[in-house]
Structure 1
């Protein structure tokens, strides 16, 4: 990075809640927020929004007649974008850029319209504009009345952190002074969950913790899907609202041996972490919020990569997927939120079934990881 970039606000919605106070309280307990849900052909654990938070999304849906035909992934994004920019004090005069990503996009609407087409042979009028990936950022820009650049993209499960990278690139290039970045995902549909089951990665556990993310001793895959979104306001200037500084970013892609493969020692993570730590002594990193999807190979390879990079100075390790599930393209920024909350409250959040770790005396620097199908890893270093 050529200069630090500042995080001046953020907002999220997930199975943990929709405001920082509620979310932090949820992190402080040892409970997960995954619930069983009945699908057409099966029952599965998912990380679903609470009913009271769905009322907030319903309010967004009813706030504009045009929004009544939008997918949940767009509505989640609108909710978090409105809240984050309000906290930052931005308005349409700021002319900020928007980059919101999603791994799957309008999953629910796409499946609905496709089923209608199979039954009738006719496509609904709005089936195309409401299911394009680009409509997430377009509707945010419309809702917030900004004239800045608007970008939507997908790079599987590292999408949200790639949004952050894109925003930083625009800011450092001098093409914008403020950028709204985010990730949103609403994947709790019959076909999407069935796809994960077909890959043999979905949890079949019925004990205390359905998702055993960061348990490197597990003998079965335990991934669980969740839904949610996060919006983050980036600025080139530090002000009284600044909550954290982005000190380093890293990214890498490794050669694929299989569609979902990652090497034993996650070479992509080793490269992305080293890039993010280019100007930082690794021993000064206090904690890492891992990607840790709850799969055998995914979790163990990331732990191995961290050991390779940090050697005898391993930071405190944590993850949030055992609580909220894997939110695909939104997951990286929901992990960033956990890092921001830990910095703010100066407290680590332990995974209850993970090995006991040495607690850092202070939390000054935290690294956040994400990776997706295709071996595309991102690492982001933030500081207090």
Structure 2
């Protein structure tokens, strides 16, 4: 099997519109939650989210591309372009069929769907749909547009596994490269879910926090007073590359992918298994592939959405994996970024890579009083980033439908 490394990163997040600002805000413990500005949410149960700040798409894309794309694709194009530039590979000197794109999204073109169906309903049933309706809507358009804009003609498709989506995309890209089916794959995920239907749907499920009086502190993983997740939007992109190719061209290598795995809970449409059986197995399989023991993992970026059931099941899963071994240091960066659904794994993969490159573990913010159901002594990094010699980091993601996806990164 070939080795696979990360040579480029791109981020468009609620706490930073590029990699450097995202990384700085992440380590500084910056919250991004605030009252929704995208639409009037005053009558909704939850009236806040983690929106992008000061993002102007016209500074990145031309009018034609903006017109034919939904925001989730626009976010993908911006993050992917940064990662491709960061990687520095020259597609012109490569076989275009050797460069692919595997991209993830949980919802696809939700903005487009809402706008077009609303216009249809308000038009007395007249079929006045835009010719761009379907191309903007379909979830695979982000991967397609990245390919079109950069001339990549290799493997190209989209993964959808709810909130495990981005890790699924990263794992697939990892496998294709190590099997010799591609040399470079641009991967990651994007989501644009701050819309009336998306917010309204999650409100109806009572899955999101309703702490409207204090949005900035609403995402509080593992806290006794947590009451649900906070919606986020944006994109994260990674350039995965075959190790020998990266070395030969003198690329800057951030980290290596050591292992990855997926399992299913086969339990419930939305709830995680209370004992985390599927999640634990996914961690064990990823560790086995990486040829590592859990005590060799220095840091785990927890999925930890701040839901009462989900946070506890993840802790139980990790306890099952660690047994009598020392538990790695943990943090939950959704406390800052909110939950980006299908894009969550991508930006949390970047958080893991930043922990490795900076030897600094990002904090969990807003957690003031641990849930009494959580075992004492949980090694959760809270309040401020912690300096630590991180050689191996693991990223956990879990999604509606029972999807569990784990990726392990290592210092080269």
TM-score bracket for this pair, using the shorter chain length: over 0.9
Partner in structure 2 of residue 41 of structure 1: 43
What is the aligned counterpart of 1:314 among 320, 324, 327? Answer: 327
CA distance in 2, matches of 1:221, 1:16: 22
Task: Tell me the secondary structure at the aligned position of residue 277 of structure 1.
Answer: helix
Which whole-Å deviations, capped at 9, do the CAs of 1:174-215 have from their partners, x for residues lacking one? 111111111000000011011111111111113361111233
How much has 1:146 moved relative to structure 2? 1.4
The reply to whether residue 159 of structure 1 matches residue 165 of structure 2 is yes
What is the aligned counterpart of 1:277 among 266, 279, 287? Answer: 287
Partner in structure 1 of residue 257 of structure 2: 246
What is the aligned counterpart of 1:145 among 148, 151, 157? Answer: 151
Task: Tell me the secondary structure at the aligned position of residue 401 of structure 2.
Answer: coil
Partner in structure 2 of residue 335 of structure 1: 348
Partner in structure 2 of residue 378 of structure 1: 405
CA distance in 1, matches of 2:407, 2:103: 17
When the two chains are superposed, the root-mean-square deviation of aligned CA atoms in Å is: 1.8
The question of whether the paired residues in 1 share the 8 Å contact of 2:76 and 2:236 is answered with yes
Task: Tell me the secondary structure at the aligned position of residue 10 of structure 1.
Answer: strand
CA distance in 2, matches of 1:21, 1:134: 28
CA distance in 2, matches of 1:24, 1:130: 30
Partner in structure 1 of residue 242 of structure 2: 236
CA distance in 2, matches of 1:70, 1:91: 26
How much has 1:3 moved relative to structure 2? 4.1
CA distance in 2, matches of 1:214, 1:344: 27
The question of whether the paired residues in 2 share the 8 Å contact of 1:100 and 1:153 is answered with yes
Task: Tell me the secondary structure at the aligned position of residue 117 of structure 1.
Answer: helix
What is the aligned counterpart of 1:260 among 267, 270, 283? Answer: 270
Task: Tell me the secondary structure at the aligned position of residue 142 of structure 1.
Answer: helix
How much has 1:160 moved relative to structure 2? 0.6
Partner in structure 2 of residue 22 of structure 1: 21
Alpha-carbon spacing, 1:175–1:260, altered in 2? closer, same or farther (3 Å)? same
Which whole-Å deviations, capped at 9, do the CAs of 1:39-94 have from their partners, x for residues lacking one? 2633512111111xx12x22234x25243231110000001111111111234333
The question of whether the paired residues in 1 share the 8 Å contact of 2:360 and 2:388 is answered with no
How much has 1:21 moved relative to structure 2? 2.5
The reply to whether residue 290 of structure 1 matches residue 293 of structure 2 is no
How much has 1:124 moved relative to structure 2? 2.4
The question of whether the paired residues in 2 share the 8 Å contact of 1:85 and 1:91 is answered with no
Alpha-carbon spacing, 1:180–1:30, altered in 2? closer, same or farther (3 Å)? closer
Partner in structure 2 of residue 209 of structure 1: 217
* Runs (5+) with no aligned partner, structure 1: none
CA distance in 1, matches of 2:139, 2:24: 33
The reply to whether residue 133 of structure 1 matches residue 139 of structure 2 is yes
Task: Tell me the secondary structure at the aligned position of residue 225 of structure 1.
Answer: coil
Which whole-Å deviations, capped at 9, do the CAs of 1:85-114 have from their partners, x for residues lacking one? 111123433321001110000111111011
CA distance in 1, matches of 2:221, 2:315: 11
CA distance in 1, matches of 2:87, 2:387: 30
The question of whether the paired residues in 1 share the 8 Å contact of 2:15 and 2:30 is answered with no
The question of whether the paired residues in 2 share the 8 Å contact of 1:45 and 1:210 is answered with no
TM-score normalised to structure 1 length: 0.93
CA distance in 2, matches of 1:91, 1:136: 21
CA distance in 2, matches of 1:130, 1:30: 35
Partner in structure 2 of residue 302 of structure 1: 314
Partner in structure 1 of residue 189 of structure 2: 183
What is the aligned counterpart of 1:350 among 363, 373, 376? Answer: 363
* Runs (5+) with no aligned partner, structure 2: 371-377, 381-385
The question of whether the paired residues in 1 share the 8 Å contact of 2:11 and 2:22 is answered with no
CA distance in 1, matches of 2:201, 2:388: 43
CA distance in 2, matches of 1:265, 1:286: 23
Partner in structure 2 of residue 32 of structure 1: 31
CA distance in 2, matches of 1:102, 1:131: 12
Which whole-Å deviations, capped at 9, do the CAs of 1:291-332 have from their partners, x for residues lacking one? 111111111100111111012311011111111111000000
CA distance in 2, matches of 1:299, 1:227: 21
TM-score normalised to structure 2 length: 0.87
CA distance in 2, matches of 1:377, 1:74: 25
